[in-house]
């Protein structure tokens, strides 16, 4: 901290910069990969360095280093880059005003992953594989485990001083099954920034993960191909979440909103009044934090509130551009990257229907529970592979389906939401946008009477 403070004082005194930001991290990461009884990766590595961002003459300069002995030189390098970029910039960057913060963000984890012996982590993965392979249809199991812990520090020349006791853990499991000449693949992911090793032993024990994965795999092995067409669809929390994240969330990231249909829709009704979609703190959310990587307090926002497009995700630069308050969505993958606008936990809010009410009058339709891979475009068109789904016949859940995907244009599909469930579910994962970020997505069960094509 002292070396950072000293370098920042030097830079503030010697450089004509509008804004200087130093982001330091010192983390220890553990990665384990287990595939069919063999550990394919078994690494522990230290990741440490400083990200330097300088705003000068209305342009950004960025540099990063893992060598703290040459900080002044690196800050000067970022400053020179900013000045050079300013020569070519027509529109000068401005930052929305914020109140400088001094704080220490304590981890909420009860048992931090770094306090758990590597032997226990290895044994946990081996047990999960053993449980899965007790099912004779399972032919291959692959598990990827990762955790990290240490500290992050943010210092700015405006007076912000924030230190985080930063920790996370993640587990992704993939199974391949075969029965009666049919192949199936299923995946499952769990992770947290707020729950520690207790996530693995209490909230998401191996038995629970195994049960989920085998259900997904067998639903495909026993499944029938769906009819192609537009039918009533009830989407489970995980599928609702991927639509919220991929097809709608990206449109509400201010740097992408500019080139998306959302640009001209703010303040307009885009969904029924019983539909609300938020970006907020949620229990178990993989995107939870108190401050973003610019030191802005993370605020809950309603992207869609009672059907009206209301708020978008902002960093300080885009908050100034849009004349809005910054809301804590500047995030960087590590010290090697500058922060950009990213989602955290994107979800639809629960309504007041029971699951039975959602399906009771559907003569023929589909219930899509979980996805495997998805993509979307900036016009909100999406395609999502389904790894667990069922036919709905005469108001009852019937046979499972396989080889299924759903497609649609989310802005149109929103208008066809006819009912929102009162339950809630969440999935954790990673989002790529040039950098990787931990995110969650979810919501309640929702019914779409059109707007989604299944096939």
Annotate 193-216 with DSSP letters as a single string.
SS--THIIIIIS-HHHHHHHHHHH
The DSSP call for residue 227 is P
> Which of the 8 DSSP states describes residue 410?
H
> CA angle, 35 as apex, 31 and 41 as ends, to 5°?
30
Distance CA(199)–CA(206), nearest Å, equals 10
Q: How far apart are CA 257 and CA 261, in angstroms?
A: 7
d(CA 322, CA 326): 10
Q: Which residues of the chain have pLDDT under 70?
A: none
Helix (H, G, I), strand (E, B) or coil at 282: coil
Q: What is the pLDDT of residue 434?
A: 95
Sequence-separated (6 or more) residues with CB below 8 Å from residue 66: 48, 49, 50, 335
Assigned token pair, 387: 């790894």
Could you give the CA distance from residue 440 to residue 201 in angstroms, rounded to a whole number?
21
CA 410 – CA 379 distance, rounded (Å) = 8
Residue 234 neighbours by CB under 8 Å, 6+ apart: 355, 358, 359, 362, 365, 366, 367, 368, 392, 445, 446, 447, 448
- How far is residue 423's CA from residue 92's CA, in Å, rounded to a whole number? 47
User: What's the CA gap between 326 and 97, in Å, rounded?
Assistant: 9
The CA distances from residue 334 to 26, 152, 250, 285, 371, in Å, are 10, 10, 21, 19, 28
* DSSP run (H or E) holding 424: none
d(CA 364, CA 232): 7
- pTM attached to this predicted model: 0.96
Report how far residue 210's alpha carbon sits from residue 98's, in angstroms, rounded to the nearest whole number: 47
Helix (H) or strand (E) holding 167: strand 161-179
pLDDT of residue 375: 87
Name the DSSP letter for residue 11.
H
pLDDT in tens, 330-386: 999 999 999 999 999 999 999 999 999 999 999 999 999 999 988 899 999 999 999
Residue 91 is predicted with a pLDDT of 94
**1 CB-near residues (< 8 Å, 6+ apart):** 153, 163
* pLDDT for position 198: 98
| Axis crossing angle, helix 2-14 with helix 71-88, rounded to the nearest 10 | 40
Could you tell me the CA-to-CA distances from 51 to 74, 336, 344, 435 in Å, in that order? 9, 6, 21, 15
Q: What 3-state DSSP class applies to 62? A: strand
Sheet containing 277-279, strands listed edge to edge, beginning at the edge strand earlier in sequence: 308-309, 301-305, 277-279, 345-348, 436-443, 425-432
Q: Is the dihedral of CA 289, 295, 298, 303 positive or negative?
A: negative
CA angle in degrees (0–180, nearest 5) for 440-171-405: 60
Report the pLDDT value the prediction gives residue 62, as an integer from 0 to 100. Answer: 98
Q: Please tell me the distance from the alpha carbon of residue 294 to that of residue 153, in angstroms, as a whole number.
A: 11
pLDDT (tens digit, 9 = 90+) per residue, 132-156? 999 999 999 999 999 999 999 999 9
pLDDT at 327: 98
pLDDT for residue 178: 98
């Amino acid at each position: 901290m002292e070396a950072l403070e000293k370098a920042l004082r030097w830079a503030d005194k010697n450089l004509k910069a509008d804004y200087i930001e130093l982001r330091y991290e010192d983390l220890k990461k553990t990665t384990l990969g287990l595939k069919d009884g063999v550990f394919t990766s078994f690494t522990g590595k230290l990741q440490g360095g400083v990200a330097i961002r300088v705003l000068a003459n209305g342009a950004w300069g960025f540099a990063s280093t893992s060598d703290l002995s040459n900080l002044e030189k690196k800050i000067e390098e970022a400053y020179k880059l900013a000045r050079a970029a300013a020569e070519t910039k027509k529109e000068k960057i401005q930052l929305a005003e914020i109140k400088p913060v001094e704080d220490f963000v304590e981890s909420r984890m009860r048992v931090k992953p770094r306090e758990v012996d590597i032997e226990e982590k290895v044994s946990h993965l081996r047990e999960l594989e053993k449980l899965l392979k007790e099912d004779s249809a399972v032919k291959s199991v692959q598990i990827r485990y990762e955790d990290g812990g240490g500290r992050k520090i943010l210092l700015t020349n405006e007076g912000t001083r924030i230190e985080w006791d930063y920790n996370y853990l993640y587990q992704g499991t993939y199974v391949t099954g075969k029965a009666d000449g049919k192949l199936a693949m299923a995946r499952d992911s769990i992770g947290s920034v707020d729950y520690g090793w207790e996530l693995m032993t209490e909230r998401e024990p191996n038995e629970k993960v195994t049960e989920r994965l085998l259900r997904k795999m067998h639903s495909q092995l026993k499944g029938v191909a769906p009819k192609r067409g537009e039918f009533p669809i009830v989407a489970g929390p995980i599928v609702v979440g991927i639509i919220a994240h991929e097809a709608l969330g990206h449109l509400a990231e201010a740097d992408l909103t500019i080139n998306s249909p959302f640009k001209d829709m703010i303040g307009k009704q885009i969904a029924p009044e019983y539909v609300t979609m938020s970006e907020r703190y949620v229990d178990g959310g993989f995107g939870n934090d108190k401050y973003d990587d610019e030191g802005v307090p993370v605020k809950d926002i309603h992207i869609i509130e009672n059907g009206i497009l209301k708020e978008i995700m902002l960093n300080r630069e885009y908050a100034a551009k849009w004349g809005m308050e910054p809301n804590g969505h500047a995030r960087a993958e590590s010290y090697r990257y500058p922060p950009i606008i990213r989602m955290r936990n994107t979800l639809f809010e629960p309504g007041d229907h029971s699951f039975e009410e959602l399906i009771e009058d559907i003569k023929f339709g589909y219930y899509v529970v979980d996805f495997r891979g998805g993509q979307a475009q900036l016009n909100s068109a999406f395609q999502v592979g389904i790894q667990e789904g069922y036919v709905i016949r005469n108001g009852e859940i019937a046979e499972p389906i396989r080889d299924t995907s759903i497609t649609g244009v989310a802005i149109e599909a929103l208008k066809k939401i006819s009912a929102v469930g009162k339950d809630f579910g969440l999935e954790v994962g990673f989002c790529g946008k040039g950098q990787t970020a931990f995110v969650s997505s979810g919501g309640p069960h929702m019914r779409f009477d059109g707007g989604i094509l299944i096939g």
